[in-house]
Structure 1
Amino acid sequence: MGSWDTGPFHNDAAVGTAERFDSLFDSELPPWLHRLFDVAVAMPEGPLDTDLAQEVVAAAAVIASQCPDGGDVNLNSGPREPVPPLPTDLRPKAAAALDRVLAHADAEVDRWYVRERGEQWLGNVQRIRLILTAPASSPEPAAPRPQRRVFAGQQLLRDRFGVEDALDLHARHPKESPAHALADLMERQSYEVDTLDRELRATASRARETLAQVADGKHSAVQTNGVLRFTGIELETLGARFALASRDLQELADRYEYAVASGTDQAVAPRSAAARTRTTPGDAVPGRGPTDSLPPPDSAGHRPGPRR
């Protein structure tokens, strides 16, 4: 689909960047952004790869939006989840990476079918760089941090077990117990459900934005590449996968509740320990001495099968 508008997130590569912001943990975002900008700055002289340039612009826009003058940065089609406060040392790195993009911006502007649209894109990028390099003003009181959205898998665990994550269920049971193993399976399955839920919402939002452009008279949004047709197929496929994953998670939750209710959530003793208890030479067995407590070997030389 390429680029469909002049904002920093109005292209395919930038949509992937938005999904990275949504999927990474808060602690993983700064290292990823540092690497992205370092790679862009370290590239050989000449125009950057188009996808890399678009990823740099999108990431820099998110950082600029957290600057004092960044309230009007266009983040439409950007991250769906609230982005945590990012380190201020990312701002000069983002500006340096944008310099690599702007060094060959004229060639990028020429690629637009309508040059005026390309110039609008360039103006947006220049605005982002100005915000990143603006002198720091007096610090403002930190605004309350918005909560990240809760997706379907995590919501099920909250509703049924009162926990934020299946990891919280692990601590309730010994490691060798069936309930602990089921909690581990629920953790993995809940992440799968959350991922599909996030992808479904993002795809539906992109379709809604395309339809909104058509409603505003921008009919070129659906005139090429069968955007809506392919989006419909993607939504149906994701919906089917989401339904199956949700059903599997429900079944695991039912099995976990049964294990806890039936009292099978206790640790299972290792077989080797039980065997040592039964065959200790000092056991008092009527009619046998200390060396007689072990049963005689099988005359056929039979050996026990491998442990499972």
Structure 2
Amino acid sequence: MGTWDAGPFGNDTAADFANTLGDAKLEVREALIRGVLTRTVDATGWLAEGEEAVAAAALIAAQCPGGDPIDTPYGPEKPMPAFPNDLRRLADEALARVISDEAGPASNWVDPADWKQWRANLTRLHTVLAPPPPSIPLFDVEQ
């Protein structure tokens, strides 16, 4: 596998996934992303699609408040559809699996010297994707 960057599309597998998304019809892209995220959340053992899940999470995070736009030549060239809110939770869960699996994508993605930057990028995505806490009124105000 070729790796050249600590960003979400910085390896061959993630860049290939971006190309697949770019080549897919607009109405199919959400299903491709949902499938990768679901399989990552449900995986036991090796996370076979961890790299794709990171790329998918970055695409969803880009649409969230505080998310960074995808600004890389290796990401999808065509705009992504507006993703439904439930994908944010799914992406957050998938990213948590990738972050916790140090023997999987983390060990293959970057050189040891770049691991801290890769981890910081994942933590940033995870922070953006984490659902906001529910607002609970402190006082019951009657009018």
1:67 paired to 2:64: yes
1:115 positional shift: 2.5
DSSP 3-state at the match of 1:105: coil
Letter in 1 for 2:40: A
Report if aligned partners of 1:95, 1:133 keep a CA contact under 8 Å in 2. yes
Aligned residue for 1:54?
51
1:75 positional shift: 4.0
Report if aligned partners of 2:9, 2:15 keep a CA contact under 8 Å in 1. yes
DSSP 3-state at the match of 1:63: helix
In structure 2, C-alpha distance between the alignment counterparts of 1:23 and 1:112, rounded to whole Å: 24
Structure that is richer in helix per residue = 1
1:93 paired to 2:90: yes
Gaps of 5+ in 2: 134-143
Report if aligned partners of 2:13, 2:51 keep a CA contact under 8 Å in 1. yes
1:17 positional shift: 1.1
1:2 paired to 2:12: no
In structure 2, C-alpha distance between the alignment counterparts of 1:18 and 1:111, rounded to whole Å: 19
Aligned residue for 1:83?
80
Aligned residue for 1:103?
100
Identity of matched residues, %: 35
**1:138-178 deviation digits (Å, cap 9, x = unpaired):** xxxxxxxxxxxxxxxxxxxxxxxxxxxxxxxxxxxxxxxxx
In structure 1, C-alpha distance between the alignment counterparts of 2:105 and 2:115, rounded to whole Å: 8
Letter in 2 for 1:98: L
Q: How does 1:227-242 map to 2 (within 5 A)?
A: none
1:8 positional shift: 0.5
1:35 positional shift: 1.5
Letter in 1 for 2:120: G
In structure 2, C-alpha distance between the alignment counterparts of 1:133 and 1:85, rounded to whole Å: 18
In structure 1, C-alpha distance between the alignment counterparts of 2:70 and 2:27, rounded to whole Å: 25
**1:22-54 deviation digits (Å, cap 9, x = unpaired):** 11222112222222111111111x3413xx110
Aligned residue for 1:18?
18
Distance 1:70 1:107, change over 3 A: same
Report if aligned partners of 1:8, 1:74 keep a CA contact under 8 Å in 2. no
- Structure whose alpha-carbon radius of gyration is higher: 1
Gaps of 5+ in 1: 137-308
Report how many residues are paired.
132
Provide the alpha-carbon RMSD of the alignment: 2.2
In structure 1, C-alpha distance between the alignment counterparts of 2:41 and 2:107, rounded to whole Å: 23
In structure 1, C-alpha distance between the alignment counterparts of 2:104 and 2:36, rounded to whole Å: 22
Report if aligned partners of 1:9, 1:75 keep a CA contact under 8 Å in 2. no
TM-score, normalised relative to structure 1: 0.39
In structure 2, C-alpha distance between the alignment counterparts of 1:75 and 1:41, rounded to whole Å: 26
In structure 2, C-alpha distance between the alignment counterparts of 1:107 and 1:23, rounded to whole Å: 27
Letter in 1 for 2:132: P
Q: Which has the higher contact order (CA 8 A, sep 6+)?
A: 2
Q: How does 1:291-302 map to 2 (within 5 A)?
A: none
- Pick from 118, 138, 142: which aligns with 1:121? 118
Structure 1 consecutive aligned stretches of length 4 or more whose deviation exceeds 3 Å? 106-114
In structure 2, C-alpha distance between the alignment counterparts of 1:16 and 1:107, rounded to whole Å: 18
1:130 paired to 2:130: no
Report if aligned partners of 1:95, 1:129 keep a CA contact under 8 Å in 2. yes
